[in-house]
A and B are shown apart, each in its own frame.
Chain A
C-alpha cells in the first residue's frame, strides 16, 4: 500500500500517484454518510454490474448446497434433506470415476502443454520476420481462426477428416498413409483435439508474447550480433528471458482451467466410437444433471471439478510467487 499525503499544503504528490481532487477528502475523517453523499453516483454506476454478477454468478454458488442435499422437486433448491457426502462417495465409487478422471486429465494436460508452447514458438518465429508488411500479414493470418465458432471448427474437422471424402484423409492416402479414420478411431481423438486447438488459438495467444518481445531493446540484439551470436543463441539468451514473466502469468491462469476442459468442443466432437476417451467430467455433468435430471449428483460432480480447478490455481500461484516473485495476487 502506498500512502498518499493528503494534507492540503502538501507538496505535489510524486508522479504516478493519484493527485488531489476536490471530491476526494481525507479518508480518515470520511464517515460513511459523507462517503455516500459524495460518491453515490459511483455506486449507481456499479450497481447494475453488481446486480447482474450477484444474481447470475453468486446466485448459483448458493445452489452448491444441493451437492449435500437430496433434491426435492416440491421443496426446491434448499428444501431437501441433508445427505452429507453421499453424492461425492457415489461419484468416487462409480465405475466411471477413473475413466472420467483419466480422460479429463489427459485432454487438459496435453492441451495445456502444447497450447502453452505453441504461441511462444509462433511469437518467436513472427518476431524474426523482418519487414512490417510481411509481419502484419502473418499476424492477421494466424489470428483469424480464433474468431471462427466452435461449432464451425468441429464441422470443418468432420468434413476434412471424413474417411471417404475428407481432404486430409485423401492427402494422407496420396502420400502413402492409408486407412486412417480420425473420427472413428479413439486413439486419434486427443491429437485431433489438441492440434485443432493450436490451429485455432495459437496465433491469438501469441499477441501478448509479441508485445513482450517488442519491448526488448534493439541495442541488446545489436550487441549480441556483434558478439557473434547466431539466431538460435539470440532466441535462447535474449528473447526467451524477456518472455518469462508473461509466460508465468499465463501459465498460472491456464493451470486454473486444467480440468475445465472446453466442454463445447469436446461435446461436439463426441461420437459413440470415441466416447471411451472423450467423456470428461464436464460432459458427464451435463448428461447426468441436465439430461438425466439427477440434480444433486450432477452438482456434487461439478463442485468436485471446480474445487480441483481452484486448488490447482492456488498452488501454481503460490509456487510462482516463491520461485519468481510473479503472481496473480
Chain B
C-alpha cells in the first residue's frame, strides 16, 4: 500500500526527468517508461540558448534574495516584540495582523492601490507588498515565546541590556533554527510566485521565472530553435515532439534547485509546520 503511494507520488517527477533526456519520438510512442532511451540533450541545448529562461532565472534570483532579506528583517523583530508578554498592546496587534488572514480588500482595490503607489510594472512589487507574511510571523512569535527562557531575558536586563541589545546579541543567535525555517518558507514563496507577475507586471524584462514558464509550458510559445508549440511552424507532430522534450527540460531546469535542496531542507520545513501548530 505505502509502496504504491510512493510510486504514484514520485513517478510523475521521475518520468519528467527521464523524458527530458530521451529521444522524444520514443517518449511519444510510449517506449520510455522506467529507463531513458536513446539519450540526447537536444532539449537542454535549446533551453540554454533561450534568453527568456535566463532572464527569468536572474530576475527570480534577485527577487528571492532581496525579498527574503527584507522579509526576515521585518518579520523577526516584530515577532520578538509580539512575544514579550509585558508588551501590553500585543493582543490588539496580533488581532490587527491575524485579521488580514481572513479578510482582504480583494483584487481590484489592491490593483488600484499598487497603481497609485507606482508599483505596476515596477520590480519592487515583487518585494514590498509581501514583506510580512502573517502566518510566518505567528510561527516566529510562537518560537520566541516557547524557546527563549525568561531567565535569560532577566539576566541580560540585570546586566543592563536593552530590548535591542537582547534581541540582537542573545535572541537572534539562539534562533538560527527558526530563522532558517522562516527564511526557507519565504524563499520558496518568492521562487514560486506567479500571481504577482501575472497581475501587476506587463514588462517582459522584469518578469520572474514562473511567468516565463507559463509562456513555454502552457501557452506553448515557440522556442528559438523553431520547435514551437502545437501550432508550430509547419513541423507538425515532429515539432510537437521536440516541443514536449523542451517542456520536460524546462520543468527540470526550473524545479531543480528546489528538488536538489529539498532532502536536506525537509526537516526544517517540517519543524516550521510543527512550531506553527503549537498555537494554531
A interface residues (Cβ-Cβ under 8 A, vs B): 18-19, 21-24, 27, 30, 35, 39, 41-46, 48-50, 52-53, 56-64, 66, 76-77, 122, 125-126, 129, 134, 137-145, 147-152, 154-156, 158-160, 162, 164-165, 167, 170, 174, 199, 203-204, 207-208, 211, 246, 249, 256, 263-264, 267-268, 282, 285-286, 289-290, 295, 298-299, 302-303, 305-306, 309-310, 313, 328
Contact = CB atoms under 8 A, between A and B. Distances in A.
Contacts of B164: 41, 44
Given A122-B5, A154-B218, A211-B274, A286 B107 contact: yes
Contacts of B270: 139, 143, 207
B273 interface: yes
B102 to A, nearest CB: 6
Contact of A41 (B30, B162, B277): B162
Given A21-B150, A41-B164, A155-B247, A149 B108 contact: no
10 contacts: A21-B86, A45-B77, A48-B78, A49-B131, A53-B132, A63-B105, A64-B105, A149-B192, A207-B273, A286-B107
A229 B162 CA distance: 59
B212 to A, nearest CB: 9
B77 A19 contact: no
B188 A147 contact: yes
A204 B273 CA distance: 9
B93 A50 contact: yes
Interface stretch (B12-20, B47-55, B61-69, B175-183): B12-20
A170 B29 CA distance: 9
B97 interface: yes
Given A62-B105, A170-B30, A42 B84 contact: yes
B107 A289 contact: yes
Given A46-B77, A125-B5, A256-B102, A52 B128 contact: yes
B224 interface: no
A152 B217 contact: yes
A290 B88 contact: no
A32 B15 CA distance: 64
A154 B217 contact: yes
Contacts of B16: 156, 159
A53 B15 contact: no
Contacts of A264: 194-195, 198
A139 B103 CA distance: 33
B108 A302 contact: yes
Contact of A295 (B15, B108, B163): B108
A41, A56, A134, A150 — which one has the most chain B CB atoms within 10 A of its CB?
Answer: A56
Contacts of B131: 48-49, 52, 56
Given A58-B100, A154-B217, A285-B107, A290 B199 contact: yes
Contacts of A42: 81, 84, 87, 163
Dominant SS at the B interface?
helix
B268 to A, nearest CB: 12
B41 interface: no
Contacts of A62: 105, 109
A245 B112 CA distance: 41
A286 to B, nearest CB: 6
A59 B192 CA distance: 25
A302 B154 contact: no
Given A49-B77, A49-B132, 5 more contacts: A53-B100, A141-B9, A142-B5, A165-B240, A295-B108
Nearest to B217: A155
B132 to A, nearest CB: 5
B262 A310 contact: no
B251 A152 contact: yes
A21 B192 contact: no
A304 to B, nearest CB: 9
B2 A129 contact: yes
